[in-house]
């Protein structure tokens, strides 16, 4: 089975991988579904720039015209930004249909991990992962991101699970599937917009070199699967916990009343929270992605050095 015949790796990314240079994968859902144009494109390009400034090559990932893409041009990023939510949000189940029909797809955490691994990229920076939704004991609404972390050997660097989720159950699910949850410089799981959640991570690690070594050893031992690194939002951009939790509760209640579920849930909740916080949540979202990109680039560089030795 050769999935790579469906894959296009951008020349810059291909050259970096061949030379053993550090590469960082980036998702594209944040471009098409995460924020309005042109802010989405500006943010995506700024994230790529931050990765370059920190010594790595960015590889924004998407599905375009039925081709799996590892590395996008500025024009392709602009296209995704302009087309916005008209681009399908692509999870694992969607890939065969989008490829077979020659369609476009913005990649979630799940599909970014899949395509990154196909291309040979081991480190991926995002905002936050999906997880177990509140009320999942009756709805069974659990993000495919968690299953992907269990099966695909990519390190995902994020600001924790989105605080619209049931964080306790999300951690339990990851533990059941053997996914290490690492706190970067913290023993407490960050909750996306805020630095604290009341839940502990499995391990605290304080340097990119330690992160790289831990991931390297996991793969070298043949344990497979991914690793989740939770990197708290910088203090100056962290939101007040009471303010954000109140907005989340209101948004969740409205989603229930409107019968919103499945893949529509997260975009609805994030848009509602943005409105309820007067745009503060979007500003925090952008800053935490920048912060994760910096750490991912440094970690990818450390992993690249390990591979050479």
- Final residue of a structural domain among 121, 139, 159: 121
H or E stretch at 60: strand 57-64
Judgement on whether residues 240 and 286 belong to the same structural domain of the protein: yes
Judgement on whether residues 49 and 145 belong to the same structural domain of the protein: no
Q: Are strands 181-184 and 203-205 parallel, antiparallel or unpaired?
A: parallel
User: How far apart, in whole angstroms, are the C-alpha atoms of residue 17 and residue 24?
Assistant: 11
The alpha carbon of 139 is separated from its chain's Cα centroid by a whole number of angstroms, namely 24
Three-class secondary structure assignment of 90-117: ECHHHHHHHHHCCCCEEECHHHHHHHHH
Judgement on whether residues 54 and 189 belong to the same structural domain of the protein: no
238 φ, ψ (degrees, to nearest 5): -70, 140
Judgement on whether residues 163 and 297 belong to the same structural domain of the protein: yes
Judgement on whether residues 92 and 136 belong to the same structural domain of the protein: no
- How many independent structural domains does the chain possess? 2
| pLDDT tens for each residue of 195-228 | 988 999 999 999 999 999 999 999 999 999 999 9
CATH of the domain at 283: 3.40.1790.10
Judgement on whether residues 12 and 113 belong to the same structural domain of the protein: yes
Q: Is the pLDDT of residue 290 over 70?
A: yes
Which pair of tokens denotes residue 307? 């591979």
User: How far apart, in whole angstroms, are the C-alpha atoms of residue 95 and residue 145?
Assistant: 14
| pLDDT tens for each residue of 70-117 | 999 999 999 999 999 999 999 999 999 999 999 999 999 999 999 999
The predicted pLDDT at position 273 comes to: 73
Domain that holds residue 273: 127-309
Judgement on whether residues 140 and 213 belong to the same structural domain of the protein: yes
Percent of the chain exceeding pLDDT 90 equals: 72
220: exposed, middle or buried (C-beta count within 10 Å: 0-12, 13-18, 19+)? exposed
* CA dihedral sign of residues 28, 31, 33, 34: positive
| Catalytic residue positions, numbered | 27, 162
| pLDDT tens for each residue of 21-56 | 999 999 999 999 888 899 999 999 999 999 999 999
107: exposed, middle or buried (C-beta count within 10 Å: 0-12, 13-18, 19+)? buried
Tell me the chain's radius of gyration from C-alpha atoms. 18
| pLDDT tens for each residue of 230-249 | 999 999 998 887 887 787 77
């Amino acid at each position: 089975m050769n999935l790579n015949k469906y894959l296009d790796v951008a020349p810059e990314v291909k050259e970096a991988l061949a030379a053993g240079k550090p590469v960082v994968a980036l998702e594209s859902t944040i471009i098409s579904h995460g924020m309005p144009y042109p802010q989405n494109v500006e943010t995506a390009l700024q994230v790529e720039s931050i990765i370059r400034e920190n010594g790595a090559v960015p590889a924004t990932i998407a599905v375009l015209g039925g081709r799996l893409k590892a590395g996008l041009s500025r024009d392709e990023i602009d296209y995704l930004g302009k087309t916005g939510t008209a681009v399908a949000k692509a999870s694992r189940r969607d890939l065969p249909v989008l490829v077979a029909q020659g369609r476009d797809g913005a990649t979630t955490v799940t599909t970014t991990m899949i395509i990154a691994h196909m291309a040979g990229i081991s480190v991926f920076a995002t905002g936050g992962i999906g997880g177990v939704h509140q009320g999942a004991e009756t709805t069974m609404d659990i993000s495919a991101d968690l299953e992907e972390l269990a099966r695909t050997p990519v390190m995902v660097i994020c600001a924790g699970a989105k605080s619209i989720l049931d964080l306790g159950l999300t951690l339990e699910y990851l533990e059941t599937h053997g996914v290490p949850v690492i706190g970067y410089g913290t023993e407490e799981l960050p909750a996306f917009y805020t630095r604290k959640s009341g839940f502990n991570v499995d391990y605290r690690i304080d340097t990119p070199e330690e992160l790289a070594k831990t991931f390297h050893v996991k793969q070298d031992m043949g344990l497979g699967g991914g690793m989740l690194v939770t990197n708290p939002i910088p203090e100056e951009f962290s939101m007040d916990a009471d303010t954000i939790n109140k907005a989340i509760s209101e948004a969740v209640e409205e989603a229930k009343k409107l019968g919103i579920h499945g893949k529509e849930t997260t975009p609805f909740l994030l848009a509602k929270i943005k409105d309820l916080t007067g745009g503060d949540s979007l500003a925090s979202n952008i800053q935490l992605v920048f912060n994760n990109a910096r750490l991912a680039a440094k970690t990818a560089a450390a992993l690249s050095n390990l591979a050479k030795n």
